[in-house]
Structure 1
Amino acid sequence: MTPALVFDCDGVLADTERDGHLPAFNETFEHFGLPVHWSEDDYASVLRIGGGKERLTSLLTPDFVTRAGLPSDPEAQRAAVTDWHAEKTRRYTARVRAGDLPGRPGIARIVHEAHDAGWLLAVASTSAESSVRAVLEHVVGQDAAAWFAVFAGDVVPRKKPAPDVYELAVRELGVSPTDVVVVEDSANGLRAAVGAGLTTVVTISSYTADEDFTGAALVVDSLGDLPDTPDRVLQDPHHVEPTGQVTLDTLTELLRLTGGRP
C-alpha cells in the first residue's frame, strides 16, 4: 500500500506556541477585557489540555465567571468561548501570514522527499483548520500545501491524547496503520498517534523537551537540515542512527522495524 506521512502542526511544522499562540491568547483576553494573562509558565500547564477552545473553556471557573462578568448560562458561556476562539485564531493567523513563525528545520525538505516518492501527506491537529492551513502554506509554500489532506479543529469530538484524529486520518487517507509515520512534538500527541497504532517520530519543541516520550520510534530535536542545522538524536530505540538529518530512508526503515512496510 501507499505510505503516508502525517504531521502535527503546532511545534512540528513551526514552533508556534511561545511566539504565536500565547501572545494571540493574551491579546484576545485584553481585547475582550478578560481578567487573565497567561505567563509562559501558565501556558506550559494549559498546553496539557488539547484544543484551543478547550483551553479557553478551562478558564470558566465560578470565580472567573464572576470576576469577568460572564453569564451563568452554559449555552451563553459556550457562545462566548466561540467568540474568543475566533478572535484568537484571527490574531494568530495574522502573525503566521506576517512571517513571524519560521518553519522548523527539515520540514520543507522531507515534505518534498515524500511527495516525490509518492507518499501521501497530511496534517492532524487540534488547532483550527484556518490556523493549520496558514502555518502549512507559510512553511512549505502554497503549491506544496495543496498536496496535504488536513484534519483539524473540531473534526473529531475527542482531541489528543485521544487517538480519534489519527484514526480519522487513516480512514480518510485509505491507508493501513502499518504504512503511516507520524511526526509529533508532545507527549499528548505521541499518545494519540501510538493509540491509533502508528509509528511516531518526535521532534521536541520549546514547551515539550522534558515530557515522557516512551513509545516513540525516534526522538530528535528536529528533523535537521544539513549542513546548517543538523539534528540531535535524543532517543533511538531502533538504532536507525540518522546522521545529521532524518530522511525518507530513515522513516522507511522505521516502518520496517516497527512492523510496517517490508
Structure 2
Amino acid sequence: MASTTFCLFSSPTALLSNTKTSIACFKPHERALSSSILATRTSIYSNKTSRARPMNLRNGSRGFTCSASSSALPSALLFDCDGVLVDTEKDGHRVSFNDTFSERELGVTWDVDLYGELLKIGGGKERMTAYFNKTGWPAKAPKSEEERKEFIASLHKRKTELFMALIEKKLLPLRPGVAKLIDQALEKGIKVAVCSTSNEKAVSAIVSCLLGPERAEKIKIFAGDVVPRKKPDPAIYVLAASTLGVDPSSCVVVEDSAIGLAAAKAAGMKCIITKSGYTADEDFLNADAVFDFIGDPPEERFDLSFCGSLLEKQYAS
C-alpha cells in the first residue's frame, strides 16, 4: 500500500501568523506534528478533513518540492499557454494589440491595468469586441455586424503576426520548470497537450520556438477557434481528452487564471495553478494546488510525481 504524503506549513510560527505561507511536503512517519500545530489546524480546519490543498508559495520565497511516493501517473498533462508556458500577456499580447491599433490609427491604447481587466474575457477577438461594444467602435470601423466581425478578424490576424515576431526573437522566456515537467511526462509516455484560447499559430510558435522542435512534435495543440465556446467553458478540455483518448478524471491541468481553472474543473479534471503576473490575486479556491511557479531545482515547487498523487491522495494544508 502506497504511503500517504501530507503537505504542511513549514513551521508553527508561519501557520499562526499567515495561513498563506510556504509549504513543506513530507511523510507522516518522518516527522511528528507538534501539539501547537495540531491545535491550530483543529481550530482552522475543523470539518474540512476530506480534502484540502497545498497553499501557494509566496513569490521570491525558497520553497520545498512537493513530491509523492505514488505509482499513479496522469494519463495526460494539459497546459494552458499564456501565463503558464510563458508570461506573455503584459509584454507580449498587450504590446502586440497596441502596435496593431497604432498601425491602423484607431486611437486606442490598452494600458497595463486595463488589459488586466480585459483578460477576464477569453479570446483576443472576443476581448476586442467586448471592449469596442462598451467604449464605442473606432471611427474607421464598419457599421454592420458582419463587417465588424471581419474587421476584428483582420486586427487579430495582424496582432498575431506581431506577437509571433516577438516569440521568434525569443524575447519572452519560458517560465521556470515548464520544460522540466514536460520532459518528465514525455519520458514516462504521458500525453502532453497545450489548450489555449489564443490563436493556434501563436501557440504553435511558442511551443516550437521555446520548447524546441523535438518536444513540439510530441505535443498536441488545441487552440483558438477549435471550439465554439472558450474558457471558462470546458469545451477545449473536453475536446482534448476525447482526441487524446483519455478519461478526463485522469488528466491534470496546469493553469494560471480563474477562467482556466473553471474550465478544467467543469471538464472533471484536476487543476494546478501556477500564478502569473496578472492573476496573482484571483480566486483559486477550487484548485487542487496553488503555486507561484513550477520551478527548476533548487527552486522546484512540484514535479510529475506530485501531479500523479493528486489523482489518488488527500492533502492537508
Q: TM-score, normalised by structure 2?
A: 0.74
How far 1:246 moved relative to its partner?
Answer: 1.1
1:9 corresponds to 2:81: yes
Question: What one-letter code is carried by the residue in structure 2 that aligns with 1:214?
Answer: L
Tell me the residue number matched to 1:234: none
1:127 corresponds to 2:198: yes
Higher relative contact order (CA 8 A, sep 6+): 2
Say if 1:13 and 1:139, in contact at 8 Å, map to a contact too.
no
Q: 1:183-222, aligned counterparts within 5 Å?
A: 183-222=254-293
1:25 corresponds to 2:81: no
Give per-residue Cα distances to partners, 1:167-199, cap 9 Å, x unaligned: 110110100112100000000000000010000
Say if 2:291 and 2:301, in contact at 8 Å, map to a contact too.
no
Instruction: Give the whole-Å Cα distance in 2 for the aligned partners of 1:63 and 1:52.
Output: 16
How far 1:253 moved relative to its partner?
Answer: 0.6
Q: 2:245 aligns with which of 170, 174, 177?
A: 174
Distance change in 2, residues 1:59/1:163 (3 Å): same
Tell me the residue number matched to 2:185: 114
1:136 corresponds to 2:207: yes
How far 1:59 moved relative to its partner?
Answer: 3.0
Give per-residue Cα distances to partners, 1:8-39, cap 9 Å, x unaligned: 00000000001100100000000111121000
Q: CA RMSD in A?
A: 1.4
Say if 1:110 and 1:248, in contact at 8 Å, map to a contact too.
yes
Instruction: Give the whole-Å Cα distance in 2 for the aligned partners of 1:157 and 1:248.
Output: 32
Q: 2:155 aligns with which of 84, 89, 106?
A: 84
* SS across alignment from 1:69: coil
Tell me the residue number matched to 2:112: 40
Tell me the residue number matched to 1:255: 311
How far 1:57 moved relative to its partner?
Answer: 1.0
How far 1:139 moved relative to its partner?
Answer: 2.7
Say if 1:132 and 1:152, in contact at 8 Å, map to a contact too.
yes
Say if 1:108 and 1:139, in contact at 8 Å, map to a contact too.
no
Q: 1:61 aligns with which of 124, 127, 133?
A: 133
Question: What one-letter code is carried by the residue in structure 1 that aligns with 2:310?
Answer: L
Instruction: Give the whole-Å Cα distance in 2 for the aligned partners of 1:175 and 1:223.
Output: 24
Which of the two has higher C-alpha Rg? 2
How far 1:136 moved relative to its partner?
Answer: 1.1
Say if 2:79 and 2:255, in contact at 8 Å, map to a contact too.
yes
Give per-residue Cα distances to partners, 1:124-157, cap 9 Å, x unaligned: 0000000001111233211101111110000111
Instruction: Give the whole-Å Cα distance in 2 for the aligned partners of 1:63 and 1:202.
Output: 32
Say if 1:35 and 1:68, in contact at 8 Å, map to a contact too.
no
Instruction: Give the whole-Å Cα distance in 2 for the aligned partners of 1:47 and 1:153.
Output: 15
Say if 1:14 and 1:139, in contact at 8 Å, map to a contact too.
no
Distance change in 2, residues 1:224/1:183 (3 Å): same
Tell me the residue number matched to 1:95: 166
Runs of 4+ in 1 over 4 A off after TM superposition: none
How far 1:40 moved relative to its partner?
Answer: 0.2
Q: TM-score, normalised by structure 1?
A: 0.89
Aligned residues: 242
Instruction: Give the whole-Å Cα distance in 2 for the aligned partners of 1:216 and 1:15.
Output: 20
How far 1:63 moved relative to its partner?
Answer: 6.0
Unaligned runs of at least 5 residues, structure 2:
1-72
Instruction: Give the whole-Å Cα distance in 1 for the aligned partners of 2:288 and 2:203.
Output: 25
Percent identity, aligned pairs only, is: 45
Say if 2:74 and 2:308, in contact at 8 Å, map to a contact too.
no
Q: 1:151-170, aligned counterparts within 5 Å?
A: 151-170=222-241
How far 1:41 moved relative to its partner?
Answer: 0.4
Instruction: Give the whole-Å Cα distance in 1 for the aligned partners of 2:276 and 2:172.
Output: 13
Instruction: Give the whole-Å Cα distance in 2 for the aligned partners of 1:171 and 1:254.
Output: 21
